[in-house]
Amino acid sequence: MIGAAIRTALAALMLAAPAAAQEAPAPPEEVVAGLSQDNIGITARFDGSTILIYGAVKRDAPEPPGHLGVIVTLEGPSGAVTIRHKTREMGIWVNTSAVGVASAPSYYAVATSAPLAEILDPAQDVIQRISIPLALRSFAGPLEVADARPFTEAMLRIREAEGLYQLDEGAVHLVEDTLFRADFTLPANLTEGDYKTRIFLTRDGQIVDQHRTAIYVRRVGLERWLYVLSQNYAAIYGLMSLALAVIAGWAAAEAFKFLRR
Amino acid sequence: MQIYLPIAEVSVNAFLLLGLGGIVGLLSGLFGVGGGFLITPLLFFIGIPPTVAVATGANQVVASSVSGVLAQFKRKAVDVPMGIVLLIGGLIGSAAGIWVFNILTRLGQIDLAVQLSYVVFLGSIGLLMLQESLRAMRRAKTGAKPGKRHQHLWVHKLPLKLKFRASGLYISVIPPALVGMAVGVLAAIMGVGGGFIMVPAMIYLLGMPTKVVIGTSLFQILFVSAFTTLMHAITNQSVDVMLALLLIVGGVIGAQIGSQLGGRLKAEQLRSLLALLVLLVALKLGFDLLIRPAELYSLHPGRAG
C-alpha cells in the first residue's frame, strides 16, 4: 500500500517536472501531492474510515538549510449548527439558550510532521488559518448571544471529542525530507461532499510552498442508500419501513406457528 | 458485531439490539403488553437519540401488533365499527402529536419532553400495577372477592349514539373518539402503542366486554402506529429501518418464548416484577434529568427556527 503510493507519487513527480521548469521563477522547494483517489467512496463502517494523502518535495537545487515541516489539512463541507446550552430550571436540566453558527466545517483535521509550534510561525498561522481555532474563526457568522465564546468553545470541545476536529502532531510521516504521507480518520457519520485539502511546506516556520486540492468523499453501501432514501424520498422510505415491519412481524409469527406443529 | 445505524448515526452492537428486542418481546409475550413503552426508554439508555428512538419505536409497534390483529380477527374478537371510531380519533391525535413533536424539536426541547412524559407515565403506571398486584396477592391469601366495578353513567348521556353490535353497546361516539385521540398523541410523542391506556379505558370507561377489548385495541394500535411511523419518516426523517428490523426480529422471537412461558408461571408475582421493572426505568430516566450532565452544551445541525 505504502510502496504503491510512493511509486505513484514518484511518477507524478516526474510528470510534473517539465511543466514546472517552464514557469519562470520556480521556488526552491515545491510540493507535489498525490491522493489515493480524487473521488472516494467510503463504506460507513462502525469505526470510520481512513483517507491517505501522500506526496513528495521537489527540489531543483541542493536542500536549503533550516528545519523542514509538512502540514496537511483536510476540511469537510460546512453547514449551519445550533449550539444549545443547558441550565438547571426547577431541579431539572433544560436547554435554555442557543447560538446559531451560520457555517462550520463538518470535519477539520490537521496533520503535521512535528509539533505545530515548531514548524509553523504564529503569524503565518493567522494568515493561512491552519490551526483548528483559527480555521474555525473564519466560519463563525453573526452571533445572537452577547458572549458567544463559551458556545463556540463548546462546539470545538464536542467535535474534538467526537474526532470531527483533530490536530494530529506527528501524523505526517516524512521520509528523507522528501516523501511524506498522512492518514486521516473519517468518522462513520461523515458528511458527503468536497473535502478541501491543503498541504503546506515550511522551513523554520515560514511557509515556502503550498498546494490545494479537493477530494470528493461520498458514502457507499446499504447504509448510505437508506440514508439518501430517507432524506430525499421520505414517503417511499416510510412505506418501505412499514412494509418491512408488517412482513417481519407476520412472517415470524407464521414461522413459529409452523415450528410448534 | 458492531453495525452502523444510518439514521441514528451511531454504531451499536447488533446482538445488543437483538437481545433488547428479545427481552422486551419476552415481557410482552408474558404479560400481553405491547412493549413499546419499555423499548423506547431502553433505546435512550444505549445512546440512540430520543427522536429516532420514538419514531423507530412506532415502527416496531406495527410489527408486534400485526400478527396479533390477524389472530384476533380469526377469533372474531375485533369490534370493527368501534375500532374505526377509535382509529379516527387516533389519527387526529397522532397528527396533532406529530405537529407538537416537530415544534418541540425546533425549540430544542423534544428530548426533555419525551423523557419527562416517560417519567410521568411509567412512574404512574408502575405504581398502579404494583398496587394492583399487591392487592391481588393479598386477595389470593385472604380469599376475598374483588369489589364491584363502578359505572360512569355520564358516558351514556352524550349525543351521536351508535350501535356497536360486537360489544353489545349503544353509546355516543364521543368518548371512544376521545380515548383514541389521547392514545394517538401518546403514539406520536412517545412511540408507544398505547394499549396500557386504551385497554383500561375501554373496559372501565366505555364498558366494553373483555373478549373484544384486546382485538379492538390492537386493530387501532396497528393503524395508528403505522400512520405515526409514516408521519415521522416524512416530517423529520427519524425512522431507522435497520434499528427497527433488529428490534423486530429479537422482539418476535422473545414474544413467542414469552407466551409459551406465560402459561407456566405465577401471574401475580410476575406482574409485580414487571411493575418494579417499569418503576426502575422511570426512576433511571428521572434521575438522568436531575443530575448535572457531563456536557452542558449540545450541537444540532441546522439553524434554530
Residue B166 confidence (pLDDT): 82
Of B5, B296, B304, the CB nearest to A98: B304
Which residues of chain A carry a pLDDT beneath 50? 1-24
Residue A11 confidence (pLDDT): 37
Residue B95 confidence (pLDDT): 95
Handedness of CA B188, B189, B193, B196 (dihedral sign): negative
Which residues of chain B carry a pLDDT beneath 50? 147-148, 150, 305
Q: How near does any CA of chain A get to the CA of B138, in Å?
A: 37
Q: Do B62 and A242 touch (CB under 8 A)?
A: yes
Domain boundaries, chain B: 2-142+152-290
What's this model's pTM, rounded to 2 decimal places?
0.80
Residue B179 confidence (pLDDT): 92
Residue A243 confidence (pLDDT): 94
> Which of A241, A254, A256, A261 should be substituted to probe chain B, the one whose Cβ sees the most B Cβ atoms within 10 Å?
A241
Q: Do B9 and A188 touch (CB under 8 A)?
A: yes
Q: Could you report the per-residue pLDDT of B132-149, keeping only the tens digit for each? A: 878 877 877 776 555 445
- Interface A-B, measured as beta-carbon pairs within 8 A, has a size of 175
Q: Do A252 and B64 touch (CB under 8 A)?
A: no
